[in-house]
Structure 1
Amino acid sequence: MAVSDLPVLRDLDRPRQEDLDRCVHCGLCLNACPTYRVLGIEMDSPRGRIYQMAQVHNGAEISASYQAHMDLCLACRGCETACPSGVQYGRLIEAARAEIENKVRRPLLTRLLRRFVFGSLLPSPALLKAAAAGMYVYQNSGLRALARGLGILKLMGRVEQLDKFAPPAEFPTFFSAYGKVFPAEGERRHKVALLGGCIANVSFARLHEATVRVLQKNGCEVHVPRGQTCCGALHAHSGVREDARRLARRNIDALLGGGFDAILTNSAGCGSTLKEYNELLEHDEAYKGGAEKFVRLVKDINEFLAAIGLNPRMGTLPYSVTYQDSCHLAHGQKVRAAPRQLLKAVPGLEFQEMPLSDLCCGSAGIYNVLQTGMSMQVLERKMDLANSVTANVIATANTGCMLQLRAGVAMHGRGQRVAHVIEILDEAYRKG
C-alpha cells in the first residue's frame, strides 16, 4: 500500500465518551498516582484529569492549565490496577495528549525538535547510529567530564538534564544483528522474532545480545528481521499518534509473515504499546486484521520464558536481589509473577520482595527529562522503598527504569547494582 493511501485517523484522537463514563469518581485511584502522592492536588490525580478531559470533551477550551496537568501525568497506569470500574486510563491520557498535539500549535523550536526526534531520529537506524557515535565520543573522550567540571551544562538549561539521563552509547550496536538468525542450542522448540526497538539498539546492545543468548539456551531459534523499526511507544505517549501508526504498520509488515511462534521484546514500555497495535489501528481497514494477529504474538521476554518453562541448567549466583515492577509490565500488561518466577529459579539467588514494588520510579519514557523536578521526587520515594530491603541488586524489566534506578542509586542508594532480569539469567547460564 502506498503511503499516500494510508488513512489519516487524527480526527479520532480524542478521549471517548464511553471511556470517560466508566469513571465513577470513587477516588480509589488517588493513592496509586505518583503525582497525587507528591502534590496532593486533585487536578493532578487520575480522577481530576478525567474530570478535565470530560470538560474539554464537552466543549471547554484546551487551556495552558489543562495541557500542564496532562503533561505532568507519568502515564504509569497504576490507577488502572487500583480502579474497580475498569477505567482504561492509559487510553484516555494518550488520547488527550493526541488531541492537544492536533489542536494546539507549539512554539516553532519545539515543533521542529519534536518533528526531528519523532519523525526522523527514532525510526532511522542511520541517524541513531550517527547520534550514538557522537554520544560515544562525548561520553568516553573526557568531553563530558570537562563540560561538567567547568559547569558549562548548568548554563544550558534542559541540556544538563539530557546529559544526566542520557543512556550510554554501546558499540557495536545491535543493528549489526538485523537480518540474522541465531540457532537454538540443542533441539529447536520455538521460532521467535526479537524486536530491537530504536534507542535500545545503540544503548542496550549488550542487553539485546544477552536476550538472544538466554533464548538460545531455552531452545529458541531467534530471528532479528530486517525492516523492523521503533515500536512507536514514545510517539503514542507523547500524542504523536499518526507517526506511531506509521511505525506500527512497518513492524506488522516486517514481522507478521515470518511464521514466528512469538514476537518478543525485553522492554516493558515497548511491549505495552506493541500489544495495543490493534487499538492504534482499529479504524484502519487495511491493517486492523493484521494488527489483531500481531498483538496475539507479542510477548514480553519474561512472560514468554516463564510460559515455556525455563532451562534449569544454570550456575549459582550468591547474591540477593529485589525486583522493581516496571509500570508498563505490571499495570499495562498485567505481568507480575513471571519476572519473580524467573529470578527465583536462579540457584543461590536470594529474592527479597520490595514494598510497593509497583510504584512508579519516575522514568516514564522521556518524562525524567521533560518533568525533571517531579521525576526526582518520585524517584526519591522509590529509592526509599528499594533501600528498605537489604538486597544488593535491583532487578527490573524495562530499559528506561534501569537508567532511572541507576541515577537513583547514585543519588540516594547504597551502591546497589541495577540489572535487567535477562542480564541476571544470562550471568547464571554463563556460569552453568
Structure 2
Amino acid sequence: MNERPIAPPVAETPVDLDWLGEQIPYRLFQQCIHCGLCTASCPTYVENGDENDGPRGRIYLMRSVVDGRLGVGPEVRRHLELCLDCRACETACPSGVQYGRLIEPFKIEMVRKAPPGKGPSRLQKVVLHHLFPYAGRVRAALWPVRVLQRLGLMKAVEGSGLLKLLPPTLRNMQAMVPPLRRPSNLAEVLPAIGPRRARVGLFLGCVTDAMTPQTTEATARVLRRNGCEVVVPRGQACCGAIHFHSGAEAPALDLARRNMDAFDFEDLDAIVVNAAGCGAMFKGLGHVMPPEERERVARFVAKVKDVSEFLAELGPIPPTHAVPVKATYHDACHLCHAQQIRAQPRGLLAMIPGLELVPLAESELCCGAAGTYNLTEPEMSRRLARRKVANIEATGAAVVASGNIGCTLQIARQIREQGLPIEVVHPVDLLDRAYEGGS
C-alpha cells in the first residue's frame, strides 16, 4: 500500500487509549486486509485522491494510534475528521469490515479531547446539542424565516447582504432552510383506513418534523392507507444521532432511553422511521448501550423499521392516482449502507402510476450532508453536493427522491443555488400523492 508519509505529530490530541480499547475490539482492525476495494466508494478519496482520506488509510492510521505507533497530531486528526461516516466502504468491503464501529469511537474521543481551537465551535455546540435535537426550538428559531417567506421578503433579505453579518455557521444553516409549511399536528392515535393490518408507532424526529412537516403528515397518511393504526407518542425525543456523532455520547444514550420509554414497543408491530439517519442510529444502539441494557435494547431495535422497509414487508396497497413525472432516486447513505435498504424505496416508487423512474449515476455516493457534516466541513460538503446535483441534472428528471432529511435539505439547497427546476422530496411524499390524488 502506497501511503503518503505522515508528518511527525505536533500538539497531539491526548486520546484515551484504554477507553478506545473498550469501545473497539481489536479484531475489527484485523478484519481489514488492505485490498483497497473500498477506495472507489469513498467520497473523500474520490474527491482528494489521498490514500489517508480513504477507508484503508484511515484504518491504518487508527490502528497505528491504538498500537502506540502514532499520535493524534493535526494531520492525523484532519484525515479522520474529514470522514463523512457514510459507511459506503462497508458495502464495498469483501471482508465485512465494520468501519462505522472503528471511526465513530475515534470521532467521539477526538471531540471530547479536542485542543483549544479544534473541534466544534461554541456556536456549533449550541446548535448541535441545544437546538437541532429539539423540534420545538427549531420551529421557534425558524419563526422569523417563516414570516419572511410568507411575506415574500426572503429573497430581498438575501439580496441585501444582511445575512453576511451572521456567523458562518448561521449563514450555512439559513441557506439550508426550505420553504416552510405549517407544523404537523397529528393526533396521538390515528385510525387505520379500511381493515386494520398493523398497529405502528410513528417516530417524528426533530429536524425532519420541524423542517418538512408535510413529509411527517404524508407518512402518517400512507401508513393509514395501508391499514395501519398509527400511534404518535407525545414523550418521544430526538434519536440522539446529532449528539452521538458530535462527541456527546451520554446525552445521546439518554435520548435513546427516553424513546424506549415513550414507545410501548412490546404492543406495536413496528416503530416506523422516515429519516435514514434516525433509523440507523436506533438500529446501532446494541453496539453502544451498556451491556446490562442490551436485552431491552434488542427488543426495541427489532421493532424499528424504515417506512419503505415496513411497507415492503407489509405488502403495500397499490395506489390508483397517476403522478406523471420523470423522477430519480438518491440512496441516502444511512439507508443503503448502514441499513442495507435499496430495493424497497424503488419498489414503492415503481408502483406509482405514470411515474417514470430513471437511474442516477453514483446514486450511492454521499451528497455531503452526512448529519452535521455540512456545518462542520462546509468546503468538502459543497464539493460533494455539486457533484451529486450534476448527476441529478444529467438524468433529466423533474423530481429527485431521497429517504433522509439531511440529503433532501442538502440537495435542495444546491438546486436552489443553481436555479434548477427540480423538486426534492421523500419517496413517501410521491406515494402520498398517488394515494390522495395530488391533494
Same topology, TM > 0.5: yes
Counterparts of 1:176-191 in structure 2, within 5 Å, are 176-177=185-186, 180-191=188-199
Q: 1:117 to 1:205 in 2, by over 3 A?
A: same
Among candidates 36, 40, 51, match of residue 42 of structure 1: 51
Alpha-carbon contact 2:265-2:300 (below 8 Å) kept: no
Among candidates 23, 36, 61, match of residue 52 of structure 1: 61
Unaligned stretches of 5+ in structure 1? 1-9
Q: 1:154 to 1:192 in 2, by over 3 A?
A: same
How far apart, CA to CA, are the structure 2 residues paired with 1:109 and 1:343? 40
The residue that corresponds to 2:7 in the other structure is none
Q: Secondary structure at the match of 1:229?
A: coil
Q: 1:120 to 1:375 in 2, by over 3 A?
A: closer
Counterparts of 1:29-108 in structure 2, within 5 Å, are 29-59=38-68, 60-107=70-117
Displacement, 1:408? Answer: 2.8
Displacement, 1:138? Answer: 5.1
Displacement, 1:399? Answer: 1.2
How far apart, CA to CA, are the structure 2 residues paired with 1:64 and 1:51? 16
The residue that corresponds to 2:177 in the other structure is 166
How far apart, CA to CA, are the structure 1 residues paired with 2:261 and 2:370? 28
Counterparts of 1:149-298 in structure 2, within 5 Å, are 149-158=159-168, 159-171=170-182, 173-174=183-184, 176-177=185-186, 180-257=188-265, 259-281=267-289, 283-285=290-292, 287-298=293-304
Q: 1:316 to 1:142 in 2, by over 3 A?
A: closer
Q: 1:343 to 1:254 in 2, by over 3 A?
A: same
The aligned amino acid for 1:238 is S
The aligned amino acid for 2:81 is D
Displacement, 1:147? Answer: 4.0
Q: Secondary structure at the match of 1:361?
A: coil
Q: 1:201 to 1:373 in 2, by over 3 A?
A: same
Q: 1:116 to 1:407 in 2, by over 3 A?
A: closer
Displacement, 1:141? Answer: 4.8
The aligned amino acid for 2:90 is E
Alignment RMSD (CA, Å): 2.3
Counterparts of 1:114-125 in structure 2, within 5 Å, are 114-125=124-135
Displacement, 1:167? Answer: 4.5
Which stretch shifts more, 101-110 or 261-270? 101-110
Counterparts of 1:386-397 in structure 2, within 5 Å, are 386-397=392-403
The residue that corresponds to 2:26 in the other structure is 17
Among candidates 425, 428, 432, match of residue 434 of structure 2: 428
Q: Secondary structure at the match of 1:351?
A: strand
| Aligned residue-pair number | 418
What TM-score, normalized by structure 2, do the two folds share? 0.89
Unaligned stretches of 5+ in structure 2? 1-17
Q: 1:57 to 1:135 in 2, by over 3 A?
A: farther
How far apart, CA to CA, are the structure 2 residues paired with 1:145 and 1:413? 13
The aligned amino acid for 1:19 is L
Identity of aligned residues (%): 42
Counterparts of 1:411-422 in structure 2, within 5 Å, are 411-412=417-418, 414-422=420-428
Q: Secondary structure at the match of 1:364?
A: coil
The residue that corresponds to 1:7 in the other structure is none
Alpha-carbon contact 2:145-2:154 (below 8 Å) kept: no
How far apart, CA to CA, are the structure 1 residues paired with 2:135 and 2:85? 27
Counterparts of 1:319-338 in structure 2, within 5 Å, are 319-338=325-344
Q: 1:312 to 1:235 in 2, by over 3 A?
A: same
Displacement, 1:110? Answer: 4.8
Displacement, 1:341? Answer: 0.4
Q: Is 1:342 matched up with 2:348?
A: yes
Alpha-carbon contact 1:383-1:413 (below 8 Å) kept: no
Displacement, 1:296? Answer: 0.6
How far apart, CA to CA, are the structure 1 residues paired with 2:308 and 2:421? 26
Which stretch shifts more, 300-309 or 124-133? 124-133
Q: 1:145 to 1:431 in 2, by over 3 A?
A: closer
Displacement, 1:413? Answer: 7.0
The residue that corresponds to 1:300 in the other structure is 306
The aligned amino acid for 1:255 is F
Q: 1:342 to 1:110 in 2, by over 3 A?
A: closer
Q: Secondary structure at the match of 1:226?
A: coil
The residue that corresponds to 1:3 in the other structure is none
**Which deviations, in whole Å up to 9, do the C-alpha atoms of 1:102-134 show, x marking residues without a partner?**
322454995643553344334445433422324
Displacement, 1:49? Answer: 1.1
Displacement, 1:393? Answer: 1.3
How far apart, CA to CA, are the structure 1 residues paired with 2:384 and 2:123? 27
Q: Secondary structure at the match of 1:81?
A: helix
Alpha-carbon contact 1:193-1:255 (below 8 Å) kept: yes
Q: 1:189 to 1:31 in 2, by over 3 A?
A: same
Counterparts of 1:133-152 in structure 2, within 5 Å, are 133-137=143-147, 139-141=149-151, 144-152=154-162
How far apart, CA to CA, are the structure 1 residues paired with 2:120 and 2:350? 46
Q: 1:114 to 1:318 in 2, by over 3 A?
A: closer
The residue that corresponds to 1:372 in the other structure is 378
The aligned amino acid for 1:130 is A
